[in-house]
Amino acid sequence: MTQTTQPHQQSIDEVVAAMKTDPRAGLSESEARARLEQFGRNELKSAPPVPAWRKFLAQFQSPLVILLLIATLISFIVWLLERDNGLPYEAIAIFAIVLLNAILGFIQEERAEKSVAALMAMSAATAAVIRDGQLQRIPAAEVVPGDLLQLEEGDTIAADARLTEVHSLQAAEAALTGESLPVSKNSEPVAGDAPLGDRRNMVFNGSAVTYGRGRAIVTGTGMQTEVGKIAGLLQETKEEPTPLQIEIEKVSKVLGIAVIIIAIIVIGAVLLTQSIHSVSALVEALIFGVSLAVAAVPEGLATILTIVLAMGVQRMARRNAIMRKLSAVETLGSANVICTDKTGTLTKNEMTVRSVITASGRADFSGIGYEPKGDVLHNGQPLGGDVRVEVVHLLRAAMLANNSELQQREGRWSIQGDPTEGALKVASAKLGLHEDTLESRFERMAEVPFSSERKMMSTVHDDAEKTERVMIFAKGAPDVLLSRCSHERVGEDAVPLTEARRAEILASVNQMASEALRTLGIAYRTELHENIGPEVNENIEHDFVFFGLIGMIDPPRPEAKDAVKLAHEAGIRVIMITGDHPLTAQAIAGELGIIGKGGRVVAGPELNTFDEAKLREVVNDVSCYARVSPEHKLKIVQALKKNGNVAAMTGDGVNDAPALKTADIGVAMGITGTDVSKEAADMVLTDDNFASIVAAVEEGRGIFSNIRKFLRYLLSSNIGEVLTMFFGVMFAGALGLRAGEGELLVLPLLATQILWINLATDAAPALALGIDPAGRYIMHQKPRLRSQGVIDREMWFGIFFVGAVMAAGTLFVMDMSLPGGFVGNAGELRHARTMAFTTLVMYQLFNVFNARSDERSAFSEMFTNKWLWFAVALSLLMQIAVVHVPFLQTAFSTTSLSFENWLTCAAVASSVIFAREIFKLFVRAIRKSKMQVAVG
């Protein structure tokens, strides 16, 4: 495949020979695999991955962790100087905990990266190629030199390629050449070393097809493409933090500063209230303060957030919604409007021809789906006479003005291409028309492609039987096509089209639309061969002979009606936007419950008459729009946003990209959607199903709810630790707390114990909360206000309330385990500390169940999350080990507890459940009262 000249300079035959491929059938699968092995994947080289050891060392970069390591080192040096113990237990324990935290953080980050990588793989670009003569869609990374690309409007081009077949093809190449307008393409050789912008017979990796269609032979992949030759272009993509991540970081910083201030105050209180006579005592006070700060700041919060988002997004992917942007996950919880296409989203996108109306009558087709089986009847009888002649001619034209392929694989019939065009081929096959026979007589010369603005397409064909003429076949919206017709086909003759007959045809359109049938007009004209120039455009679309109407049905998806109902229950308004006839739109929207019976439908021409103020008024009330263009979609979503709505918008075409980008959540179709629309979208539906949008909203709400759950848990638990230590030091004397033998400071809990609590209770329970199943209630709530932060005032109040309950209960257990103090009892300090230490751990484990909601009872749906119970059991087993295993007792200064002691700790710790339940009861009562006042 060595080339002496560049592909743009070569003829098509020379390129075919150089690339050793077939211009019709493409490469064979075996040859494609061999070339993939030879040339590598069609990808740009990226920056080398960060080594695992660097990721691990990054776990120690936190200023608080560095302070703790310094304190550990100082503690070890003091032990070396004084040698008061056989081993530096405190230094070893602190370092072990820091190391375990680092290992846990590293594992969590690795898992998060793998989850995100899996997500990226799911949303990878694809390309349409012809291999072994079959059109198929493959990952763009598997395209190889010599592959035959099939290019359609909206495709992002996967590799550099030489065009071999062009039908009005235009490509946007601004990213590569700076050319602001789409470039018209052809297949003729270009002489000399022309600049990229002048290589009209080439298409380039990363550019997009904006119009027409074509075929091209791949000449360069990966780093051998023009994009690959531009250093750095597309290689580095900086991941911007989402608004949620920014808010979490802000909360962490504020909390960190607050805790450091508290730690300084606590250290100051220790220094002021207790006698510091040695370096060891000073070091112990510093270690204690730093440990308190480290324990109180949930350092794993960002990592847990990433994992929860990644796992949630993968759950969404399993429900056929791939999130391209993590920020859309949080926006989903706020969405209160979903603007959706009809075809393929609310319906099955398996068009089936039901009726054909011609000048002589109506033919009805039986059968469903794409299998070409069924009867064709006229008034209940087999088709015959002029009706048959007209229907045969009509369907012949429909087969030729067509770019789809009807295929049978493994006993299943499917369509490659547009479903509407596929339905026409299925109907033709039911009548016994053979595509190969037609194409051998009518070889296609040119095409004027369909566009959403023109609402029609035309193809030009040589007639092998009458070489002096060409045939032009057209199909499109009946009203548009009819305006370009001067005659109508009746039997074998073309008769003038009168105004009365035009009115009858339009009445038939309305009748079919009222039956929820999508209507399509078919027409033709003949032209002398000599009058067709090299450039064919829409100027040929005039003086057509009207064949008739085709009525097709795309039945609503069975699950769509339930999804619409669920969206309404969730406070989300559903708006249907379609290019179909208003009566068809009204019938489908009414059947699905989007509008009431006879509800208002606004058509595109009427939309054009509205000024901005009128449009903003209309979009508040109207939920069904018909005969709209992509520009209308953009206007609708802009008006909705100006009215304060958070809107999701679906789209699949190139021209839908502006509306998808403007919407708060752009939703592209994964099956029928163009690559351009997918690039512009925040979310891609792999099944093009409206129900998947609603499922994604449910998952999005669940993810956001779970983030609030683990934040509520982590912050309330850590604040409980801070308050316990602060008030324990400040009221040590009143509690009967005295320094133990060999201790230099009077502390309620030791630094190692604080760090252990952080290790044992933060990670596993928080992660389990992050994957808590979304409760049934989640879709019975109104959408979250966009202005509502992840932590609101009510949540902060609950966090501090729980923290205060924890501190009070823990200090109460310590007081009742010591002589003196408020309660007074027999006991020694090591036992009292173990009791308080265990109580605080158990408080946090009980608090896991509180954290699932600020309003709902902890006992509601208590057993739906098995991972939560597993995490609690794991943390409890770790605490039992640290209390009863001898070497851990030495490291953490604990002593064994009796069964009664454990019951006491559990009983006191359970108070957080009941205190919070009473608090929630008041919250529910207040909200109910407010709702009654609002209703009244």
Residues with a known catalytic role: 341
Q: In DSSP terms, which residues pair with 172 in a beta bridge? A: 208
Residue 434 burial by CB count (10 A; 0-12/13-18/19+): exposed, middle or buried?
A: exposed
Q: How far apart are CA 849 and CA 670, in angstroms?
A: 39
Q: What is the DSSP code (8-state) at residue 535?
A: S
Cβ pair 459, 443 in contact under 8 A: no
CA proximity to 395, closest of 421, 414, 375: 421
Cα 509-510-514 angle, rounded to 5 deg: 120
Asked whether 218 and 160 are in contact (CB, 8 A), the reply is: yes
- In angstroms, the CA 131 to CA 497 distance is 47
Q: Which residues contact 399 (CB under 8 A, 6 or more apart)?
A: 424, 425, 428, 433, 435, 438
DSSP string, 556-624: BPHHHHHHHHHHHHTT-EEEEE-SS-HHHHHHHHHHHTSS-TT---EEHHHHTT--HHHHHHHHTT--E
* The one-letter amino acid at 484: R
CA–CA separation, 900 vs 904, rounded Å? 6
DSSP character string of 397-421: HHHHS---EEEEETTEEEEES-HHH
Distance CA 544, CA 456 (A): 13
Mutual angle of helices 690-730 and 279-296, in 10-degree steps: 160
Q: Both tokens of residue 156?
A: 């992002």
Tokens 């085709």, residue located: 550
* Structure tokens given for 293: 């700060």
Length of the chain: 936
| DSSP 8-state code for residue 840 | H
Cα-based distances in Å from 60 to 93, 102, 106: 17, 7, 10
Q: What is the 3-state secondary structure (H, E, C) of 437-498?
A: HHHHHEEEEEEECCCCCCCEEEEEEEECCCCCEEEEEEEECHHHHHCCEEEEEECCEEEECC
The Cα–Cα gap between 612 and 609 comes to: 10
**In sequence order, which residues have a C-beta less than 8 Å from that of residue 160 and are 6 or more positions away?**
7, 202, 203, 204, 205, 218, 219, 220, 221, 224, 225, 226
User: Strand (E) positions, 269-402?
Assistant: 321-323, 337-340, 352-358, 361-365, 376-378, 381-382
Any idea what DSSP says for residue 790? S
663, 649 Cβ separation under 8 angstroms: yes
Give Cα separations from 785 to 332, 597, 705 (angstroms).
11, 31, 13
CA 490 and chain centroid, separation: 52
Write down the number of H helices and E strands in the chain.
Answer: 31, 28
Instruction: Give yes or no for a contact between 141 and 120, defined as CB atoms under 8 angstroms apart.
Output: no
CA angle centred on 927, ends 923 and 932, rounded to 5°: 150
Tokens found for residue 184: 């018209």
Alpha-carbon torsion (560, 327, 58, 708), positive or negative: negative
Separation between Cα atoms, residue 127 and residue 148, nearest integer Å: 10
